[in-house]
Amino acid sequence: MDQADYKEVEQLVAELRSQVISRFAGMTVDMNYNLCIPSVHAVCGDEDIVVDFNGITRRISGAFPSDIARMLSKWAKKHGKDIQKNHSLLNSEHKPLNPIDPPANK
């Protein structure tokens, strides 16, 4: 693979990683590509958070709303297998990611 091919693959992976897989509570959720473990990255306004597939917060900006962080954590834990499947698609198959349903409104 030459340098041009490598750049093309790198661009494709970056585009796949930025795919929004869910939206709820004013957040957009995409796959996190900075961790080797399956995790999601969520943005709410100017704040962001990274939560792994077990619902554990790995990184959070200082003013991220705590109630929304808890909601994301519960959602990630519930959909851990779906997050793992997307992580596999992202890292090995470079295919489009599967959307994951937001929490049901109560």
Write out pLDDT tens, residues 78-90.
999 999 999 888 7
- SS3 of the chain: helix, strand, coil, percent, to 5: 40, 25, 35
**pLDDT of 6 strictly over 70:** yes
Residues 12-41 have a mean pLDDT of 84
Sheet holding 39-44, edge to edge: 20-24, 27-31, 39-44, 47-52, 57-60
Q: pLDDT per residue over 33-91, tens digit each? A: 777 889 999 999 999 999 999 999 999 998 999 999 999 999 999 999 999 999 888 77
d(C-alpha 55, C-alpha 46), whole Å: 21
The pLDDT of residue 19: 83
How far is the C-alpha of 24 from the C-alpha of 9, rounded, in Å? 31
pLDDT value at position 83?
A: 95
| 13 pLDDT above the threshold of 70 | no
